[in-house]
Each structure stands twice: as structure tokens, then as C-alpha cells.
């Protein structure tokens, strides 16, 4: 038996969306968003949306929940807009957005998060409580920065407040760390999958040579 919290993490749902992504590629090899009609480039940016709203009452009615004709494939941001437009109040969702440095994690979140969403980016916490650049991290201040992070994580864990979605940004190359946060926060993973070569090139373009080490370290540690 499904509920709204475990349905979207089920193999039945994820397998169906994978099948629909393949089936709905057009003759030009593109998967188009069924809202804005623009290409969905990355798999992590593709969200399945139920035309008939999914509820605790009908989630186990497979003619609704797993019916391909009832499902639209949308950009993450277009999916959020639809729910805001029609006033759907979904259960709070938490997303762990992870990947290598310079992969585009913050850019993706900035393009998709709404005004009523929480965004927890440890670099932004460093920047908020010091006069330093967001990437300068003094050891003497770690206890304070991590204390703020843990406080916000606890609020997210308890679903405290009236926010809609929460986005947690970080590298998290180790599978054990990601699994711990999944258990703690009941979150969904969004992997910003970019190659090491592209990340290194972006570091050069940003004139951040010191990032090259962080990028190399991430790819050495990463475990699927």
C-alpha cells in the first residue's frame, strides 16, 4: 500500500517515468516539457505530474497514479508553477541537490526554487555571518556555521514552519553521507551530473584555481 510520501520513491513510479521519458522523445531526439514545450535536457530536471491530482485516497488506484495518460512530463520549475497556479498544497518536499564543485548546483536551485522555499547552502551560511568571501572558511568559525546548519536541518527534518519545499545544496560525494540524510530528512536526491572536465573549465573561467583541488578531491571520493 502506498501513501503520498512513499509513492514517489517507489520502483513502480521511477520505472514508469523512465519508460515515459524514452517513449516521449520526439523525432529530433528531444524530450519536450508538456507545459513550456522547451527541451528537458537533464534527467534530474524531469518531473512526472498527475493531471488528476494524487491524494491519499486515490494513490493506490493505479488507473490514476500509474496511468501514463494521466502523467505529464515537466521541467521541475514548470511543475512548481502548476502547483502554485492551481493552489495545490502538496506535502512538504525536501531535495538534496548534490554533485561536484562547479557542476551548477546553486544555479539549478536558483532557477527552480520558489519564494516560499527553504534553500540551505553551507557556502551561503559562511558568507552570511562573516565579512569573507563565501568560499573562505576560517577554522575558528566552523562551530558557529555548522550550528546554524544543524538548526535549519532540524527544522527541515521536523517540517517546522510553512515553507513548501526545501533544497539542501552540497557536494556529498560519499554514498553513506547521502543515505544518512535520506533517512534523517526523508529527502529526494537530485544529482547535478557534470563531467570533471567541464567543472575544471568553469573553475578556470571563474578565476578560482584553488577550486581545482576541490574538484579533483570530489571525483576521487565519489561513489554512486
Between residues 185 and 86, which one has the greater pLDDT? 185
pLDDT of residue 9: 86
CATH topology of domain 92-224: Rossmann fold (3.40.50)
pLDDT of residue 135: 84
pLDDT of residue 105: 97
pLDDT of residue 116: 92
Residue 12: helix, strand or coil by DSSP? helix
% of the chain with per-residue pLDDT over 90 = 80
- At 88, the pLDDT band (50, 70, 90 cuts) reads low
- Which residue from 96, 120, 121 is spatially nearest to 192, judged by alpha carbons? 96
pLDDT of residue 25: 95
Which residues are paired to 75 by β-bridges? 46
Q: What angle do CA 61, 51, 111 make, to 5 degrees?
A: 125
- At 15, the pLDDT band (50, 70, 90 cuts) reads very high
CA atoms within 13 A on the CB side of 98: 21
In the predicted structure, residue 85 carries a pLDDT above the cut 70: no
Within the chain, where are the H helices? 4-7, 11-23, 62-65, 76-85, 105-112, 122-129, 142-157, 175-185, 196-205, 211-221
- Which residue from 211, 44, 32, 161 is spatially nearest to 111, judged by alpha carbons? 44
48, containing H or E segment: strand 46-50
Compute the mean pLDDT over every residue in the chain, rounded to the nearest whole number.
92
- At 86, the pLDDT band (50, 70, 90 cuts) reads low
Q: Is the backbone of residue 29 left (phi > 0), alpha (psi -120 to 50) or beta?
A: left
Which three cell numbers, joined as nine digits, stand for 213? 583541488
Between residues 58 and 136, which one has the greater pLDDT? 58
In the predicted structure, residue 149 carries a pLDDT above the cut 70: yes
Alpha carbons 81 and 8: distance in angstroms, whole number:
19
pLDDT of residue 6: 87
Instruction: Provide mean pLDDT across the span 193-210.
Output: 93
pLDDT in tens, 91-118: 789 999 999 999 999 999 999 999 999 9
Give the domain ranges of the chain: 1-90, 92-224
pLDDT of residue 209: 84
Question: How many C-beta atoms lie closer than 10 Å to residue 154's C-beta?
Answer: 12
Q: Is the backbone of residue 161 left (phi > 0), alpha (psi -120 to 50) or beta?
A: left
Lowest mean pLDDT across 67-71, 77-81, 148-152: 77-81
Instruction: Provide mean pLDDT across the span 170-190.
Output: 95
- At 89, the pLDDT band (50, 70, 90 cuts) reads low
Q: Quote the DSSP letter at residue 209.
A: T
Lowest mean pLDDT across 34-48, 56-70, 84-98, 147-161: 84-98
Amino acid at each position: 500500500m502506498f501513501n503520498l510520501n512513499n509513492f514517489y520513491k517507489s520502483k513502480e513510479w521511477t520505472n514508469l517515468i523512465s519508460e515515459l521519458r524514452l517513449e516521449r522523445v520526439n523525432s529530433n531526439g528531444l524530450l519536450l516539457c508538456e507545459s513550456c514545450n522547451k527541451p528537458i535536457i537533464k534527467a534530474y530536471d524531469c518531473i512526472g505530474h498527475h493531471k488528476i491530482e494524487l491524494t491519499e485516497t486515490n494513490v493506490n488506484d493505479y488507473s490514476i497514479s500509474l496511468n501514463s495518460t494521466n502523467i505529464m512530463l515537466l521541467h521541475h520549475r514548470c511543475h512548481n508553477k502548476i502547483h502554485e497556479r492551481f493552489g495545490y498544497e502538496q506535502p512538504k518536499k525536501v531535495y538534496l541537490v548534490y554533485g561536484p564543485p562547479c557542476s551548477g548546483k546553486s544555479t539549478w536551485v536558483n532557477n527552480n526554487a520558489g519564494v516560499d522555499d527553504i534553500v540551505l547552502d553551507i557556502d551561503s551560511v559562511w558568507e552570511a555571518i562573516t565579512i569573507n568571501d563565501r568560499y573562505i572558511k576560517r577554522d575558528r568559525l566552523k562551530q558557529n556555521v555548522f550550528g546554524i546548519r544543524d538548526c535549519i536541518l532540524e527544522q527541515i527534518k521536523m517540517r517546522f514552519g510553512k515553507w513548501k519545499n526545501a533544497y539542501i545544496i552540497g557536494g556529498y560525494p560519499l554514498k553513506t553521507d547521502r543515505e544518512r540524510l535520506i533517512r534523517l530528512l526523508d529527502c529526494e536526491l537530485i544529482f547535478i551530473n557534470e563531467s570533471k572536465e567541464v567543472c575544471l573549465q568553469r573553475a578556470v573561467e571563474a578565476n578560482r584555481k584553488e577550486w581545482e583541488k576541490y574538484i579533483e578531491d570530489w571525483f576521487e571520493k565519489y561513489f554512486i
